Amino acid sequence: MSETGKEAAAAMQKGRVYDIQRFSVHDGPGVRTEIFLSGCPLECLWCHSPESQSFNPQLAWYEIRCIGTAACGVCLAACPQKAISPGPTKVSPADNVEIQLIEINRKLCDNCGECTRACPSGALEMTNREMTLEEVMEIIERDRRYYSRSGGGITISGGEPMVQYEFTLALLKECKKRGLHTCLDTTGYSMWSYYENILPYVDLFLYDLKHMDSDSSVKLTGVPNELILENARKLARAGAALQVRVPIIPGFNDDEENLRETGMFCRELGSAVVLVQILPYHGLGAAKYERLGRKYELTAIEAPSEERMEKIKSFLETFGLQVKIH
């Protein structure tokens, strides 16, 4: 195959994307375009993006957009599995009129998406879509002038981008080919060979540390942490730049022992760790679970106070680390 043919084939490579955020300023330096890829091997109890966990598209229902079965109801007939039926009623805040909502039988639903194509109000959506490399790059290129002015670039996130390793690698290669700064937001839970191959095309790894104890990691995220920690060590030895990100979940990983182990581990990684970010828990993702017909387990947890976050920041700084509250 000629070089032109290879480039055309690469451009047609496809990945599953659940969101693209332009003008992002939180996940890497400067103004960035953030590509969120579907699929994740972890199921963190506090995950604020449950729609990212499955590689395959899932049906999400936005109650606030639903105009009711009397005014619409086309989804009832559109569903080939008869998984949608008339549900409870509510009073519409827009006009104070009672409307009948729908109800989705998740056991019958096979996520075919027929109802989303029929829904006129956008109340029913699939959680991700298939996109080619060329389509993603077209969106990225729209904001190139903002990257250069702000020191920004591209961040690939998820989910876990390594679930779609081949697409992630192709996307990073194309971004570097065009001279763009790249960040990879990762859980660290993937094969080392993937990270080794992808390393030359990543300027900064946004590396998550959920819990330093492996048994606790299994309880909180569904996976042990040995692979995560070992990959971090290998990346550090290989010359990668790491921005370590630690979610602070009250009652789960904010005890002094875990914070001490976190600080010691980051110090062990040496100059590879350019920053430690601590991210306070929030429950803003709870509504997303309802849209997917799932139960959110951490409803009783409150976000840590600013004072508590400042104390954690000061404690981690005693290990010689640069620490920032996200």
pLDDT of residue 78: 97
pLDDT, tens digit, 9 for 90 and up, residues 88-136 = 999 877 778 899 999 999 999 999 999 999 999 999 999 999 999 999 9
Report the predicted TM-score, pTM, of the whole model to 2 decimal places.
Answer: 0.93
- pLDDT of 221 reads 97
Question: Token digits for 159?
Answer: 């989910």
Predicted confidence (pLDDT) at residue 4 exceeds the cutoff of 70:
no
Task: Report the mean per-residue pLDDT for the chain.
Answer: 95
Give me the domains of the chain, ranges plus CATH numbers.
3-55+129-325 (3.20.20.70), 59-126 (3.30.70.3270)
How much is the pLDDT for 255?
97
Which tokens go with 295?
């139960």
* pLDDT tens by residue, 33-84: 999 999 999 999 999 999 999 999 999 999 999 999 999 999 999 999 999 9
Contact 128, 159 (CB under 8 A): no
Give residue for tokens 């679930």. Answer: 163
